[in-house]
Structure 1
Amino acid sequence: MSSAAKHVLLLTGLSGAGKSTALKTLEDIGWETVDNFPIRLVEGLLKTPPSSSRGDGDPPLALGFDSRTRGFDPDELIHRIKQLQDNADYHISTLFLDCAGGELERRYGETRRRHPLALDRPAKEGIALERSQFEPIRRWADHVMDTSDLSANDLQGRIREEFSLQDTDITTVTITSFGFSRGLPNNIDLLFDVRFLSNPFWDPDLKLMTGLDAPVADYIAKDPAYPEALNKFEEMLKFLVPQYVRAGKAYVNIGIGCTGGRHRSVHVAETLSKNLQDAGFSPTVLHRNLASRPMDALEAMQDLNGNKGN
């Protein structure tokens, strides 16, 4: 096999054993994935140049197939895979996802989906028929993974552990400052409310400034609770972010909220970002409401404990 051979993973298994989860996980870690692609067309697909929009050149390819795939025939499938393996330009491997019949029945019962081979019969019959059809492929596969006792998260972890690519285990960390008076941002994983800090909005000299201005930063830092609060925020993030990375979470969105989203949340977001960078992380900072117009009524209504400064 050539050292530059393209890696192709053929992913199959029993319906309900986790093929969709495995393919989605492979895609998240940098693989190009195609589901239910007829194996007889694979050679043509492999000869197709990668999209010019991809920045990673020609990534490894994962092809998912099952009993619903057009032209599915176990013996013919094995024959075609052997032909592909004779080509030194490709490194072909096969992953078979297996699962106990009782567990598959439970999964179909919970989701109320019909088994593809038992649309008008009990799922148990379809599971048995599919297992008999796939037995030659299961015996022949390079790798068999039993998902009977694996949750979706467990399966994702196993796939990441065994098929991760170099330099693809990247978690994007975004810190967004915002104002509660203007609504919560979407897709926030971790939320810190900093409305307990003294509010520069109520100082006439600072009202039209933002958390990016030094006088505002100095004002906020004088709050007695500020040093301990920032230290605890940082400790929590330095603990949690690596856990998310190990769990394979592609994006971690951290929200920092104050009342209007122009002073306290902006300053805290900037400070946390700098300190996380010093700790080896590379967060992106967004200030959703930095350009919003200051509004006394919103600040007075939303500020915690009527906090209008020291």
Structure 2
Amino acid sequence: MSEDRSPGEILIVTGMSGAGRTTAANALEDLDWYVVDNLPPQMLRPLLDLTEMAGAALPKIAAVVDVRGRDLFAELPAIASSLRDRSQLRVLFLDASDEVLVRRFESVRRPHPLQGDGTILDGIHRERERVTAIRENADVIVDTSTLNIHQLATRIVELFSDEGTARHTVTVMSFGFKYGLPTDVDLVADMRFLPNPYWIPELRGLTGEDEPVRDFVLSQPGALAFIDAYALALHPVLEGYQRENKRHSVVAVGCTGGKHRSVVTAIELASRLADVPGVAVRVKHRDLGRE
């Protein structure tokens, strides 16, 4: 079988300083793009060669190219144009109004990269002159004037995530309270309101992954009602996480030892969350096997 030597997809991320290039780059990295920051335009050709040699190892690369490259930046429009015939190359241009850019630079108390001895606005005007050509040929232009960082990240996900790719991953984790509360969780459910199978001799040596324990736990008053109601309550939470571009969350489900009730509930809860659009669900049993 011959190796795939076709070039991968390259996205040039450029635009006005202060318009959100860092936020966009972080969002792309969360989507499994390989991100290169502050790349001189002249390095785009070697980067494309690298994607051909790497094959499937580097299918998607995002290169942040901007005026920090100084005089080298002037060649970006010509280089990008010459590379379009060789690769799946797109240009994302991030923009914002002058007033918004001035406020953003003032809020972080940093000078504009082209400000020199002038004002922030002077630097913005100089930059607009330099980016005119690449803006005119951009594939996607995003005006971030009215977007906060979360809204911008969500916009990037909408534009550049693969079709069908989950926008949020939730891990449903069972655990035992006697081993301590997990530190990296977003929400916690306590299943100790249900009878403990540990006190049933024939169930003590089994776990929540075994059918007899599952049947016992789910047959208890309130068990199914809680699981159904909790799953329903989590639907808008997971949808909201996607709107806020929160990529991962952990829902912890606890019982005394993390062996019976929490395991059953975690499995059942995960199955009910599988139909939330844009969400991938994983199950983890933190303390199973500790006894």
TM-score, with structure 1 as normaliser: 0.75
Distance 1:191 1:121 in 2: 54
Question: Amino acid of the residue matched to residue 48 of structure 1?
Answer: L
1:48 partner SS: helix
Distance 1:279 1:146 in 2: 30
Report matched runs for 1:251-270 at 5 Å: 251-270=248-267
Report matched runs for 1:199-278 at 5 Å: 199-202=196-199, 206-241=203-238, 244=241, 249-276=246-273
Distance 1:177 1:119 in 2: 57
Question: Amino acid of the residue matched to residue 285 of structure 1?
Answer: V
Question: For residue 73 of structure 1, what is the aligned residue in structure 2?
Answer: 73
Distance 2:102 2:143 in 1: 15
Question: For residue 289 of structure 1, what is the aligned residue in structure 2?
Answer: 287
Distance 2:197 2:39 in 1: 60
1:98/1:283 CA distance change after superposition, 3 Å: closer
> Among 15, 27, 30, which residue is 1:28 paired with?
30
Distance 1:128 1:181 in 2: 62
Distance 1:186 1:70 in 2: 45
Report matched runs for 1:122-271 at 5 Å: 123-169=120-166, 171-202=168-199, 206-241=203-238, 244=241, 249-271=246-268
Asked if the contact 1:172/1:251 (under 8 Å) is kept, the reply is yes
2:181 partner SS: coil
Question: Amino acid of the residue matched to residue 82 of structure 2?
Answer: Q
Deviations 1:180-234 (A, max 9, x none): 3323324323332223223334556655543334454344334322121011023
1:278/1:23 CA distance change after superposition, 3 Å: closer
Distance 1:60 1:218 in 2: 47
Question: Amino acid of the residue matched to residue 265 of structure 1?
Answer: S
Distance 1:80 1:31 in 2: 21
Question: Amino acid of the residue matched to residue 26 of structure 1?
Answer: L
TM-score, with structure 2 as normaliser: 0.80
Report matched runs for 1:100-115 at 5 Å: 100-115=97-112
User: How far is the alpha carbon of 1:160 from its aligned partner?
Assistant: 2.3
Higher mean displacement: 175-184 or 5-14: 5-14
Question: Amino acid of the residue matched to residue 282 of structure 2?
Answer: T
User: How far is the alpha carbon of 1:49 from its aligned partner?
Assistant: 4.0
The total of aligned residue pairs comes to 285
Asked if the contact 1:108/1:114 (under 8 Å) is kept, the reply is yes
> What RMSD over aligned residues (CA atoms) do the two structures have, in Å?
3.4
Asked if the contact 1:30/1:59 (under 8 Å) is kept, the reply is no
Deviations 1:250-298 (A, max 9, x none): 43422112233222211211222344458897633211112234xxxxx
1:70/1:187 CA distance change after superposition, 3 Å: farther
Question: Amino acid of the residue matched to residue 65 of structure 1?
Answer: V
Question: For residue 44 of structure 2, what is the aligned residue in structure 1?
Answer: 42
Alignment identity in percent? 38
1:72 partner SS: helix
Distance 2:27 2:185 in 1: 21
Larger Rg belongs to: 1
Question: Amino acid of the residue matched to residue 40 of structure 1?
Answer: Q
Distance 1:32 1:158 in 2: 19
Question: Amino acid of the residue matched to residue 39 of structure 2?
Answer: F
Gapped runs of 5+ residues in structure 1? Answer: 294-310
1:247/1:120 CA distance change after superposition, 3 Å: same
Asked if the contact 1:66/1:72 (under 8 Å) is kept, the reply is no
1:209/1:80 CA distance change after superposition, 3 Å: closer
1:160/1:261 CA distance change after superposition, 3 Å: same
Distance 1:118 1:184 in 2: 51
Asked if the contact 2:197/2:204 (under 8 Å) is kept, the reply is yes
Question: Amino acid of the residue matched to residue 80 of structure 2?
Answer: I
Gapped runs of 5+ residues in structure 2? Answer: 1-5
Asked if the contact 1:33/1:63 (under 8 Å) is kept, the reply is yes
